[in-house]
Amino acid sequence: MAEKIPQRDLEQGSILVGRSWLMNLVGSIYEDRVKEEGKRRKRMRKRWIMWLEAATVAGLLVCAGGVAAGQGSQFGQGSQSQPPAQQTDKPKTPEVTPLTLDAPAPVNAEEDAAYKAFQGVIPNDAAKKIELGEAFLLKYPESRYKSPVYGALTYAYLQAGNTQKMQEYGEKEIALAPNDVSTLALLGQTLPRSLHGSASSPEAVQVLAKAEQYSKQAIEITPTLPKPENLTDEAFVSAKNQTLAMAHSGLGLVFVRRGKNAEAIPELEQAVKIDPNPDPVNYYLLGMAN
């Protein structure tokens, strides 16, 4: 005759199974979310590139017109840049180098063609994007296009599921462009979601500290960015809200991982509130925190 399993053991087993199922669920939701929102986040990144280009041009025109140099740096603290290239299809980030009216280093035709080929890869072809991006950086390590290539590779490696390389290129991009809020927010949201095991391990403590820093920077800088003339009010607000939603989500999860649910709840609620297409993971995290 089979031995009867005590009711308490059955209940504990059910709880463990339930918790395991929930953790698997959030993982699968996040993976699906990354795939489904590939195009949406790519469009967001393009908006930010247009935004940065416009602000750079405006700042240089102000300086060239004899207005105080401080008025030309409106992209957050220390926002300074090289003069942009004449072609509109060469995005620049204004934080790479100090503001100067000197002409930027010329780009040879081969380098220009290689960058355009990299830009032309469809958003969802992460493998091709990575292949061309890595080859470009190997051949042109000091290219003026290094910053946008870093940013694009950050996203491509996320699509490919390689969080380590995503973090590597994201941090390279932030080192060059500290006010790249889309990359800051992407790192701030993704790093705590990629953690496995105890949040108190030395590695986890370091990752959570970085995620908190990146999320807070994005939250602080994003509202200060000026709207360029070539962007509609609706597109401007949408780009800001999508970035802020990722940053608040990342910060909320950092607090959840640390067991600080009271601090996590307002961050996650804000992420859901301002995102036009709220991330289901944030609803799940709110349920956990509550």
- 159-176 pLDDT tens trace: 999 999 999 999 999 999
pLDDT per residue as tens digits for the range 50-94: 444 433 333 332 233 332 223 233 333 333 333 334 343 433 333
Q: How far apart are CA 147 and CA 81, in angstroms?
A: 12
Is a pLDDT exceeding 90 seen at residue 229?
Answer: no
Q: How confident is the model at residue 146 (pLDDT cuts 50, 70, 90)?
A: very high
> Could you give the percent of the chain with pLDDT greater than 90?
58
For residue 16, the one-letter residue type is: L
Map out the domains of the chain with their CATH numbers: 38-289 (1.25.40.10)
Q: How far apart are CA 82 and CA 62, in angstroms?
A: 14
**With contact defined as beta carbons under 8 Å apart, do 120 and 106 qualify?**
no
Q: What is the CA radius of gyration of the chain?
A: 22
Is a pLDDT exceeding 50 seen at residue 32?
Answer: yes
**With contact defined as beta carbons under 8 Å apart, do 75 and 52 qualify?**
yes
